[in-house]
Amino acid sequence: MPVDHSVLRASFAVVERRADQLTKYFYAHLFTHNPGIRALFPERMDEQRDRLFGALTQLVLRLTEPDRLAGYLAALGRDHRKFRVVPGHYPAVGESLIATIRHFSGHYWTPETEKAWTEAYTVISQAMIEAAGELPATTPRWWQAQVVRRHRAAADLVRLTLAPDRPYPFTAGQYLSLCSPRLPQVWRPYSIACAPRADGTIDLHVRRVPGGLLSSLLVNDVMPEESLRIGPPLGDAVLAPGSARPLIAVAGGTGWAQIKSVLEQVALDGGRPTSLYLAARRHGEQYDLESVRRLAALHRWLDVTLTSPPDGSRYEDGVGLLCERLGRHHDCSGHDVHLSGPPGLATRLTDQLIRQGARPELIRADPAPVTFNRVRPVTSSEWFLDLRDVPWINRTEYG
């Protein structure tokens, strides 16, 4: 279905500066006309209320590249099953979206505008519905997972071992989303910190985020025998099938979780020359070093470089030190590269590695959501358009 993108962008330009009011109106309209849908959302809406509306409008504005968007929408549709979303919910959301844009457009709203928004939302919703419908009926919407081990790795960080209630089919390098019955419908993504195991358990590394509802609960309160809910595995930052190329793996902070799972899989596959660069913001934030040392002692193919500036250093100092050490690798051509760390780190390192000869198509990283921007910007439009995390949505990069 053709979509008139110029009409969409012109329409959005009319309403974007009233974004705060738009989001309130959107949810009021949605819940008033569809009260049953309210149960799909968290009890506390202060953090949630702009996310769905923001995601919908951003997706609409990205329809200029449908081929790149298709994979993202498919993953989004499959993942939304964990929210108990069914095909009948999509028309209700679309009606509220269009009603909201219409209400705030005033005399700028025309039949042409309504047609463009209706067609755009139809493309998005159909792609998500079809992707979810293609899954076998036996595919779980979510898994119940019991906490079987908990280890306090740092003052603000825990390592959790979970036992799902049924086989959990993931690939090393993927991540999952998780919620707790203590905070219904508050979902956050966490990298899986191990390769698949015979006993079916999985590890997560959780750092407490300032103001973070779920991370604070997991770090401070959740104990063994407690039950959590996990969504299906997501993400494409997995090992290239059948590759025997040497590997460069770079982890910053809790990005170590994802890289650890990849290295465990490399070991299971028989090993290959691997250079691990493990960075922290400062000395005091290095964690799980016993696992790093154990891997290095067991596998001669693994070379480990630890980087962390002195305590009290700035974040930028840590990044600079990591870049300097990575620069010593010189020629990166012919290497597979896996990157995982704080927001923006992968982008910066990718630029450097390409200059050192790495091929872009061999560099793999899942974007980290920006979870530290909890301060609302000055204006409502800045608040709405600010590129913050949407942690209840899969974080696989668009395209």
Q: Are 179 and 212 in contact (CB under 8 A)?
A: no
Q: Is the pLDDT of residue 378 over 50?
A: no
Residues 219 and 96 in one domain: no
| Domain-embedded: residue 378 | no
- Nearest Cα neighbor of 278 from 379, 205, 383, 219 is 205
Q: Is the pLDDT of residue 384 over 70?
A: no
CATH number of the domain within which 298 lies? 3.40.50.80
Residues 115 and 181 in one domain: no
| Domain-embedded: residue 186 | yes
End residue of a domain, out of 98, 120, 137 = 137
Residues 86 and 159 in one domain: no
Paired tokens of 207:
């750092």
pLDDT digits (tens, 9 = 90+) for 31-78: 999 999 998 888 777 666 666 666 766 677 777 877 778 888 888 888
pLDDT digits (tens, 9 = 90+) for 92-138: 999 999 999 999 999 999 999 999 999 999 999 999 999 999 999 88
Alpha carbon distance, N-terminus to C-terminus of the chain:
20
Domain limits at 109?
Answer: 5-137
The residue ranking higher by pLDDT, 44 or 384, is 44
Return the minimum-mean-pLDDT range out of 119-123, 203-207, 254-258: 119-123
Residues 339 and 355 in one domain: yes
End residue of a domain, out of 137, 167, 182 = 137
Q: Are 37 and 89 in contact (CB under 8 A)?
A: yes
| E strands present in the chain | 143-154, 157-164, 175-179, 188-191, 202-207, 227-230, 247-252, 274-279, 302-307, 336-340, 363-364
Amino acid letter for position 297: A
Q: Are 134 and 75 in contact (CB under 8 A)?
A: no
Give me the mean pLDDT over the 195-213 stretch. Answer: 94
Residues 275 and 330 in one domain: yes
Q: What percent of the chain has pLDDT over 70?
A: 88
